[in-house]
Amino acid sequence: MTATLTEDFKSEGITEINTKSKLTQGDSIEEVIGTDYTYKHEIIWKNVVGFMVLHLFGLWGLVRLITGNIYLKTFLWACFVAYFGSEGVTIGAHRLFTHKSFKAKPILRFCLILMQTVAGQNSVFHWCRDHRLHHRYTDTDGDPHNSRRGFFFSHMGWLMTKKHPLITKLGSKLDFSDLQADWMIIYQKKYFLQIYFFVAFLIPVWVPVSYLNESWLNSILCCYFFRYIVSLHCTWLINSAGHLYGTRPYDKTLLPVESWFVSLISLGEGWHNYHHVFPWDYKAAELTMQFNLSATFIRFFEKIGWAYDLKSVSPEMVINRIIKTGDGTHKEFGDEESKKAVKATGILHPLNPTYNVTYKIPEVKHKTEGLPLYHEKDVIKHASL
């Protein structure tokens, strides 16, 4: 398994460990992992050019849309496709396959893998691999999109550079046996490009041309490029804004924050401080109904028998964590002084993207074993709540 994973990393331009790195010595890894600010990521120029082309065509689609050259019904179809794919990421790749926060029948697993393919954020296997590293070593050099390296890097720059050499070492030590044992995930990984072309490009573009009287050019620009770029940025904001602008009512020693704005545009993924503290909770949030359509759909799948064994955190455990490590901004269990120590550009309101606390952002360091990804202890089924 280790050899396969190492080859997987190398295929994406991830270099071997540098023996001169301050964080490593030969094949060993330091007991405490942080961020080495002297390390310079090597740019992958073909990725830079690729993203430039995607954005130029996406902007072309936006211009044609706002100037009335694209039918409204074509735009609505593009919105549906974007939403369809995004739920495949949030419910499937994230909450089911990465964190095992619930179990799913084969029919739901198949649907979610297909939906995740539409989103175009790499295969489920690669998505989960990067996200498990992100949680294990969040905001350190072991995190593929370490927010300590700035907004742009954590937003999209990490996809334009070779990953830090620690990621090769740490990634090869993680357990991906559950993903490797799932034939659907392996099949999608093997034939990702072929499946992606069919379900993420051909079908979304063909439908408006065949049924909505749209031109091929407009359909390609709106239903592929514009739709794809917007959905990517909505996801990327979880990694960037979701680690920078907001509050930390559950654990102030972690950078992820609670952001109404990010939750609004990411189907409930912006309650990020809670999620990093309790990653095994299917809600990815303390509450379920605040901009959290993904949790609503998981409960729907539970009702029809497609999802089961939904995991959630006991209220007592949440309260104890708020009191022990929170920053005091929790709506019910916080304190007024901490709640008032919040700033924002313009109107001070949780929906403001710049809504943020005033205390100094912590310097994050983790032990080699990292933080939990999923947890079978101290959790309860949703049905028993």
CA–CA separation, 253 vs 260, rounded Å? 20
Greater confidence, 351 or 99? Answer: 99
The identity of residue 71, as a single letter, is Y
pLDDT for 309-324, tens place per residue? Answer: 999 999 999 999 999 9
Q: Which pLDDT belongs to residue 350? A: 79
Q: Regarding beta strands 356-357 and 342-343, do their DSSP bridges make them parallel or antiparallel, or are they unpaired? A: antiparallel
Q: How far apart are the first and last CA of the chain?
A: 39
Greatest mean pLDDT among 30-34, 154-158, 171-175 lies in 154-158
Taking alpha carbons only, the member of 205, 188, 217 closest to residue 69 is 217
Q: How many CB atoms lie within 10 A of CB 104?
A: 21
Q: Which pLDDT belongs to residue 375? A: 63
DSSP letter, residue 308: E
CA–CA separation, 163 vs 168, rounded Å? 8
Asked whether the predicted pLDDT for residue 18 surpasses 90, the reply is no
Contact 225, 61 (CB under 8 A): yes
Contact 180, 27 (CB under 8 A): no
Percent of the chain as helix, strand, coil, to the nearest 5: 55, 5, 40
| Exposure class string for 343-353: b at 16+ Cβ within 10 A, else e | eeeeeeeeebb
Asked whether the predicted pLDDT for residue 38 surpasses 90, the reply is yes
CA–CA separation, 77 vs 219, rounded Å? 10
Taking alpha carbons only, the member of 181, 284, 227 closest to residue 85 is 227
Site of tokens 């009512």 = 249
pTM of the model: 0.88
pLDDT for 259-307, tens place per residue? Answer: 999 999 999 999 999 999 999 999 999 987 788 999 999 999 999 999 9
Q: Where are the domains of the chain?
A: 2-12+42-384
Contact 371, 310 (CB under 8 A): no
